[in-house]
Amino acid sequence: MRVGILGGGLVGLVVADRCRNHECEILELDKVGGGHCRSLVEGGYTFDLGGPHIIFSHNKEILEMMFKLLGDNLGMRRRESRIWFDRRYVKYPFENGLYDLKPQDRFECLYHYLNNDYPPPTNFKEWIYHVFGKGIAEKYMIPYNEKIWNVPADQMAMDWVEGRVPRPPIEDVIKAAVGVETEGYTHQLNFGYPKTGGIEMVPRCFSKNYDNVTTDFRVEKVWRDGKHWHVSNGRVTKTYDKVVTTIPIQDMMDAIPDAPEAIRRGVHELRYNSLIIAMIGAATRTPTAYTSVYVPEPSIVFHRLSFPLCFTDDGAPPGHMAVTAEITTNPGDGVHELSDEEVIRRVIDGLESMEILRRNEVRFQRIHRTKHAYVVRTFDYKEKLTRALDYLNGLGIISVGRNSEFEYINMDEAIRRGLAIASALDKESHQS
Q: What angle do CA 204, 412, 382 make, to 5 degrees?
A: 120
Compute the average pLDDT of residues 371-396.
Answer: 95
Instruction: Yes or no: say if 47 and 279 are a contact pair by the CB < 8 Å rule.
Output: yes
At 166 the pLDDT is 76
Give the lowest-confidence range in 204-208, 261-265, 415-419: 204-208
Checking if the pLDDT of 432 tops 70, the result is: no
Tell me the per-residue pLDDT of 122-156, one tens digit each, with 9 for 90 and over: 999 999 999 999 999 999 999 999 999 999 999 99
Please report how the helices 103-114 and 124-136 are oriented relative to each other, as an axis angle in degrees rounded to 10: 130
Spell out the residues 6+ positions from residue 3 whose beta carbon is closer than 8 angstroms to its own. 19, 22, 23, 24, 25, 240, 241, 242, 243, 244, 425
Quote the CA–CA distance of 12 and 294 in Å, as a whole number.
Answer: 31
- Displacement of CA 369 from its chain's centroid (Å): 13
- Is there a cis peptide before residue 93, judged by omega within 30 degrees of 0? yes
**pLDDT given for residue 427 in this prediction:** 84
Q: Percentage of the chain with pLDDT > 90?
A: 90
Residue 391 CA to its chain's centroid (Å)? 26
pLDDT digits (tens, 9 = 90+) for 14-46: 999 999 889 999 999 999 999 999 999 999 999
Q: What are the Cα distances from residue 27, in Å, to 1, 54, 219?
A: 17, 27, 8
Dist. CA 248–CA 7, nearest whole Å: 9
Q: Cα dist. 192→21, 48, 118, 277 in Å?
A: 32, 14, 39, 22
| Mean pLDDT over the full length of the chain | 95
User: What average pLDDT does this structure show over 5-10?
Assistant: 98
Instruction: Give pLDDT, residue 431.
Output: 60
How confident is the model over 40-93, as pLDDT tens digits? 999 999 999 999 999 999 999 999 999 999 999 999 999 999 999 999 999 999
Say how far apart CA 427 and CA 432 lie, in whole Å. Answer: 9
Domains of the chain, residue spans? 2-35+198-270+379-431, 95-175, 271-376
Task: Give the whole-angstrom CA distance, residue 10 versus residue 210.
Answer: 13
Summarised one tens digit per residue, pLDDT across range 257-315 is: 999 999 999 999 999 999 999 999 999 867 688 999 999 999 999 999 999 999 999 99
At residue 430 the predicted structure's pLDDT band, cuts being 50, 70 and 90, is low
- Distance between CA atoms of 372 and 247, rounded to whole angstroms? 10
Residue 429 confidence (pLDDT): 64
Largest CA distance in the chain: 71
Domain 271-376: give its CATH superfamily: Protoporphyrinogen oxidase, mitochondrial; domain 2 (3.90.660.20)
* φ, ψ for residue 279, nearest 5 deg: -110, 120
According to DSSP, the residues that pair with 375 across neighbouring strands are 272
Mean pLDDT in residue range 410-422 = 97
pTM, to two decimals = 0.95
**Strand-pair partners of 48:** 39
* Lowest mean per-residue pLDDT among 160-164, 176-180, 272-276, 343-347: 160-164
Residues 6 or more apart in contact with residue 105 via CB below 8 angstroms:
86, 135, 139
pLDDT at 345 over 90: yes
Structure confidence at residue 188 (pLDDT): 81
CATH top-level class of 2-35+198-270+379-431: alpha beta
